[in-house]
């Protein structure tokens, strides 16, 4: 017992300074954006991770402009945060990043069936104050309407730069499935590999997210029906020593037949010492 207490004390003394240091770095924004992102002392590091790495890939592929998209905006805290990360990454890498947010503006729509988890969601949850959010946004564009309609008109109406990162937070199977249909549009609207964050795939004992309902079902169906387009977990993240929950929520969308899929983006000299 004494040994366990000693061990606990040891770890607590190790943890407190680290916790305090992180708090100070966050409060006073110490260090560069990239440093703070790496330390996880920014709001929504998962948003920043996707934007930064999507922009790095875009630069390797010789793009000077990309866009990042949030599906499901609600009050707008996510979209405002996405704007912040986009602005920081623009400064860091010198690439233009447009930001779009899709939402009904009226909260969750009517549920389809059990696949939209009626035991957890109700229509009307997450209503947006559109004028208030509009007035706070610096660069993001709101695409207001049901995704079943806006998904069909978005590319024609906005001619967006290639989508490099997507943040799926529509909650429902039915809405996510409609959003994923946009991936059938022309390849010019996407990078060959797109960083994706899926919000509603882990949850708690209430949601009990699973492979047969909600966002996970939409992803699984998409993968099953697209032989050359697949969402894959980010294995490089989920095998890290200090894995965090959000690492399991990052998926990479691969479009194997995209004209730029095979463009070389890795280290030129990979020669190993000869034995
Ligand atoms: C949980 S909220 C998003 C929260 C936001 N991403 C954040 O982090 O602050 C989900 C949003 O998805 C929107 N939504 C769900 N289904 C939709 C659909 N079919 N078309 C458009 N918006 C939809 C709802 O209006 C709701 O505001």
Q: Which residues are CB-neighbours of 141 under 8 A, at least 6 positions away?
A: 98, 99, 100, 101, 158
pLDDT at position 203 over 70: yes
- Provide mean pLDDT across the span 3-13: 73
- The DSSP call for residue 246 is G
Domain count within the chain: 2
* 76 and 23 within one domain: no
Residue of 135, 127, 67, 119 whose CA lies nearest to 96? 67
Residue 152 is predicted with a pLDDT of 97
Residue 4 is predicted with a pLDDT of 75
More confident residue, 2 or 199: 199
Residue 202 is predicted with a pLDDT of 98
Residue nearest to atom 19 of ligand 1 (CA): 175
* 116 and 3 within one domain: no
**Candidate of 48, 103, 120 to mutate for ligand 1, largest count of ligand atoms within 8 Å of Cβ:** 103
Separation of 171 CA from ligand 1 center, angstroms? 7
Tell me the percentage of the chain whose pLDDT exceeds 70.
Answer: 99
Residue 77 is predicted with a pLDDT of 98
* 83 and 20 within one domain: no
pLDDT at position 26 over 90: no
pLDDT band at 91 (very low <50, low <70, confident <90, very high): very high
Residue 38 is predicted with a pLDDT of 93
In the chain, what is the straight-line distance between the N-terminal and C-terminal CA atoms, in Å? 51
Separation of 243 CA from ligand 1 center, angstroms? 27
* 8 and 105 within one domain: no
Do 154 and 160 contact (CB within 8 A), yes or no? yes
More confident residue, 159 or 29: 159
Residue 81 is predicted with a pLDDT of 98
**Residue 15: inside a domain:** yes
pLDDT band at 1 (very low <50, low <70, confident <90, very high): low
| Domain encompassing residue 25 | 1-30
Q: pTM to 2 decimals?
A: 0.93
Encoded tokens for 117: 């988890």
């Amino acid at each position: 017992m004494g040994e366990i207490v000693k061990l606990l004390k040891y770890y607590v003394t190790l943890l407190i300074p680290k916790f305090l240091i992180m708090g100070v770095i966050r409060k006073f924004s110490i260090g560069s954006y990239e440093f703070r992102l790496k330390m996880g002392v920014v709001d929504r590091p998962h948003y920043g991770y996707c934007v930064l790495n999507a922009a790095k890939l875009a630069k390797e592929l010789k793009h000077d402009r990309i866009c990042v998209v949030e599906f499901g905006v609600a009050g707008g805290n996510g979209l405002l945060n996405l704007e912040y990360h986009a602005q920081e990454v623009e400064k860091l890498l010198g690439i233009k990043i447009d930001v779009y947010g899709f939402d009904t503006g009226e909260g969750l729509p009517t549920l389809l069936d059990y696949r939209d988890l009626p035991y957890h969601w109700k229509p009307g949850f997450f209503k947006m104050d559109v004028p208030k959010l509009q007035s706070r946004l610096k660069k993001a564009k709101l695409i207001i309407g049901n995704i079943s309609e806006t998904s069909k008109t978005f590319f024609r109406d906005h001619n967006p730069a290639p989508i490099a990162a997507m943040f799926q937070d529509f909650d429902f199977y039915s809405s996510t499935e409609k959003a994923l249909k946009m991936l059938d549009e022309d390849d010019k609207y996407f990078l060959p590999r797109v960083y994706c964050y899926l919000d509603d795939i882990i949850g708690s004992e209430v949601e009990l997210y699973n492979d047969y309902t909600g966002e996970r079902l939409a992803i699984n169906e998409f993968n099953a029906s697209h032989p050359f387009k697949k969402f894959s977990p980010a294995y490089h993240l989920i095998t890290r020593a200090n894995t965090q929950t959000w690492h399991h929520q990052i998926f990479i969308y691969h479009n194997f037949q995209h004209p730029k899929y095979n463009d070389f983006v890795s280290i030129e000299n990979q020669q190993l010492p000869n034995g």
